[in-house]
Amino acid sequence: EGPSAFIVDFSVDESVRSGGYGPRFLRAVVEDLGRRGCCEVFYRIGHSKEDTRNIYEESGFKKDGLEYRVDYV
């Protein structure tokens, strides 16, 4: 077991949406957190739009109730 991370907010500027930047950025963040010993990363979806949910799913997050998460252990 190690520390957990919680993503509070994340958005991609409208001018570059659909360019794949969101998933690439999130994958890089998750990989970096894993290298630093983080064992899980969470994001609570709240009232997010469907395209926001898709970004997290494309980045390897799995839906877990009201949250999306990536586990390393």
- pLDDT averaged per 10 residues in sequence order, the chain, 73 residues: 83 86 87 89 72 78 77 61
Rounded CA separation 70/7 (Å) = 11
The per-residue pLDDT for 72 is 62
Q: What CA–CA distance (Å, rounded) separates 55 from 71?
A: 17
- What is d(CA 19, CA 33) in angstroms, rounded to the nearest whole number? 24
pTM over 0.85: no
Encoding tokens for residue 22? 């969101």
pLDDT of residue 73: 46
- As a whole-number percent, the residues of the chain with pLDDT over 90 amount to 3
Residue 38: CB atoms within 10 Å: 17
